[in-house]
A = this chain, B = another copy of it.
Amino acid sequence: MGVTIKEVAKAAGVAPSTVSRVIADHPRISPATKKRVKKAMKEMGYHPNANARNLANRSTQSLGVVMPSSADKALQNPFFPEVLRGISAVAHEMDYSILLCTGETDEQMLEAVERMVYSNRTDGIILLYSQVNDPIMAFLIEQNFPFVVVGKPSERVDEITHVDNDNVRAGKEITNHLIEIGHECIAFIGGSTDRIVTIDRMKGYESALEEAGLPYLDEYRIHTEFLKSGGRQAVHELFSLPQPPTGLVIADDLMSIGVVNMLEELGMHVPEDISIVSFNNVYLSEITRPPLTTVDIHIHGLGSQAAKCLIEKVKNKEEPAKRIIVPFDIKYRSSTQEKEAPTEV
A binding-site residues for B, Cβ under 8 Å: 1-2, 47-52, 54-55, 58, 60, 62, 65, 67, 70, 73, 75-78, 80-82, 84-85, 88-89, 92, 97-104, 108, 112, 116, 118-121, 227-228, 254, 257-258, 260-261, 264-265, 282-284, 287-289
Please measure, in the bound complex, the distance between the C-alpha atom of A289 and the C-alpha atom of B261, giving whole angstroms.
Answer: 6
* Chain B contacts for A51, CB-based, 8 A: 51, 54-55, 60, 120-121
Of chain B, the residue at the smallest CB distance from A117 is B47
Please measure, in the bound complex, the distance between the C-alpha atom of A88 and the C-alpha atom of B76, giving whole angstroms.
Answer: 15
Q: A52-B55, A119-B48, A283-B73 are in contact. Are A108 and B92 (CB under 8 A)?
A: yes
Please measure, in the bound complex, the distance between the C-alpha atom of A58 and the C-alpha atom of B4, giving whole angstroms.
Answer: 13
Most B CB contacts (10 A, CB to CB) among A54, A121, A261, A287 go to: A287
Q: List 27 A-B contacts (CB under 8 A).
A: A1-B120, A2-B118, A48-B119, A49-B120, A51-B54, A51-B55, A51-B121, A75-B81, A76-B284, A77-B78, A77-B81, A78-B78, A81-B81, A84-B100, A85-B104, A88-B100, A88-B102, A92-B103, A92-B108, A97-B116, A98-B101, A99-B99, A227-B287, A257-B284, A261-B288, A261-B289, A289-B289
Most B CB contacts (10 A, CB to CB) among A49, A108, A264, A282 go to: A49
Do A121 and B100 touch across chains, with their CB atoms under 8 A apart?
no
Please measure, in the bound complex, the distance between the C-alpha atom of A49 and the C-alpha atom of B265, giving whole angstroms.
Answer: 57
Of chain B, the residue at the smallest CB distance from A46 is B118
Report the minimum CB–CB distance from A316 to chain B (whole Å): 17
Please measure, in the bound complex, the distance between the C-alpha atom of A261 and the C-alpha atom of B120, giving whole angstroms.
Answer: 49
Do A99 and B102 touch across chains, with their CB atoms under 8 A apart?
no
Please measure, in the bound complex, the distance between the C-alpha atom of A98 and the C-alpha atom of B257, giving whole angstroms.
Answer: 32
Do A85 and B98 touch across chains, with their CB atoms under 8 A apart?
no
Please measure, in the bound complex, the distance between the C-alpha atom of A228 and the C-alpha atom of B286, giving whole angstroms.
Answer: 9
Report the minimum CB–CB distance from A312 to chain B (whole Å): 21
Do A254 and B284 touch across chains, with their CB atoms under 8 A apart?
yes
